[in-house]
Amino acid sequence: MTATVVETPRTGPRLRRWLFWILASVAAILLAGFTLLSSFRGLVDQGLYSATSPSSAGSKALVEVLKQQGVDVVVTGSLDETRRAVSWAQGPVTVMMADLYGYLDDDGLEALGDLDADLVLPTPSDDELDVLAPGVRTTAVESSDDTVDAGCGIPAAERAGEVSQADVAYTADSADATGCFDTGAGAYGLVRLDQGDRTVDVLGVGDALRNDSIPLAGNAALALGLLGENPTLVWYLPTSADLPEDAPPTIQELTPGWVTPVILLLIVVFVAAAVWRGRRLGPVVVEEMPVVVRARETAEGRARLYAREGATLRAVDALRVGTVQRLSTALNLSRSSDLTEVVSAVSAVTGRPSAEVYDTLVGAVPAGEADLQALSDRLLVLEREVRAATRPD
C-alpha cells in the first residue's frame, strides 16, 4: 500500500495569528512618526532660509559669501536676541527677517519696526506689510518671463541687472517707495520704502536667497547687495520663543517629556518580540499525520476541488506536468531538458508526429469536462506507448 503525507496549507491561520503583531507594529510606527515629527518640527521647518542649512532651501551659501566679504553675520532665533544684536553692533545694521510660520504678532512686529536697523523682508505676509511696510500690498505676478530686468535706481538691483521672476509681486501707493523688477501692471518684485533713517526692502524674489536659486541670473548680486550694504547683518528667523505668553501651547509643549522615551522603548520591545517570535518560523517540518491518507484519495479529493471550482485549465496543467515529468524519467532525459527535447524524444520512440505530441502535451486547450477527459485519456495512452517502447519486457 502506498501512503503519502499531505501537508495542509496554513497560510490563513498563520496570517490570523500574526494579525495582532502587524496591526500593533503599524500603530507603533505611526505613533512614533507623529511624535518625532512633532518633537523635531522646529528643526525641520528651519530648513527654508536657514543660515546653517546646505540644503536646496537653505541659505548657507549666501551667508558664507557675506562673511567672506567682511559682513558680520549674526544669526538669531528670537526678538530679544535680535534686539541685543542690533544694540551691540558697531555701525549701521541690516535685519533680514523671515517669519515663516507667523510666530510674531502685531506687538512683536511693531517691536521689530522700532529697531534702529534697515529691514529686508523676503515674501512677507500681509500682516507684516501692514505693520512694517504700510502702503505696500501683495498682488499676482502677471509676467510669464523666466527673468525680469531691474529698471530702477537701487544700487543692488542695478548691479544685478536681471533676476529670476518673482514669486510674489507688490504694489506701493507711497511717494517714498521705489519699485524694481516690474512684473507687469505696476507690480514689482522688489519695493524699497525710504523711512528717513532707514529703509525697508520688500523682496518678492525670495528664491534669490536660497542655495538652489542664488546662482541663477543676477540673484547673487541682488542678495549680496541688499544684505551686504551695512557692516552688520542680523539673520532673524522667528521661532516659538517669540510666541506671546498667553498664546496657546504647541503640541511639543503639551507633550510630556516621558512620551518620546516610552515610544522608543515600545519600538525596541516590538522589534525584540518580532525577532523572538520570528525565530520560530523556520522551514516547514513534515510531521506524521495521525491517519494514513492513500495517494488515490488525495488525487480524487483534488480532482473534486477542481471540478467544483470549474478549474479546467488548472487540472489539465497538473495532468500535463506530471506526465512530462514521468516521460522525461522514462526517456532518461536530464532534469534541465526543455519541452522541445521531450516532444522530440517522445515522437522518436512512439512514431507519432511531433505536432500531435506537442498538441497533447502543451497545445490543446480543453473547452469543458468532456474535452478534459479526452485529453487525460490521450496523455495516458501516450505515456503507455513510451513505456512500452522503452521497456519492451
Distance (Å, rounded) from C-alpha 331 to C-alpha 353? 17
Lowest mean pLDDT among 95-109, 142-156, 231-245: 142-156
For cell 479529493, what's the residue? Answer: 301
Please name the residues in contact with 202: beta carbons below 8 A apart, sequence gap of 6 or more: 121, 124, 129, 133, 136, 170, 190, 191, 192, 193
Of all helices (H) and strands (E), which one includes residue 137? strand 136-139
Please name the residues in contact with 253: beta carbons below 8 A apart, sequence gap of 6 or more: 240
According to DSSP, residue 279 is labeled: T
Report the pLDDT value the prediction gives residue 37, as an integer from 0 to 100: 61
Across residues 194-199, what is the average pLDDT?
87
Is the predicted pLDDT of residue 392 greater than 60, yes or no?
Answer: yes
Residue 313: alpha-carbon gap to chain centroid: 42
Report the pLDDT value the prediction gives residue 1, as an integer from 0 to 100: 40
More confident residue, 181 or 47: 181
Q: Residue 39: is it exposed, middle or buried by C-beta count within 10 angstroms (0-12/13-18/19+)?
A: middle
pTM of the model: 0.55
Q: How far is CA 54 from CA 62, 63, 258, 302, in A?
A: 10, 11, 33, 65
Query: H helices of the chain, where?
Result: 11-39, 41-45, 60-68, 79-88, 106-113, 126-132, 155-160, 219-227, 251-254, 259-278, 295-309, 312-330, 339-350, 354-358, 369-390
Q: How confident is the model at residue 296 (pLDDT cuts 50, 70, 90)?
A: low
More confident residue, 154 or 20: 154
Nearest-5° Cα angle at 278, 275 to 284 = 160
Q: How confident is the model at residue 285 (pLDDT cuts 50, 70, 90)?
A: low
pLDDT in tens, 15-70: 666 677 677 777 777 776 666 665 544 444 447 898 988 888 889 999 999 999 99
- Phi/psi of residue 185, each to 5°? 60, 40
Across residues 121-139, what is the average pLDDT?
91
Report the pLDDT value the prediction gives residue 3, as an integer from 0 to 100: 43
Distance (Å, rounded) from C-alpha 306 to C-alpha 316? 10
- Structural contact between residues 361 and 323, judged by C-beta atoms closer than 8 angstroms: yes
Q: What percent of the chain has pLDDT over 70?
A: 79
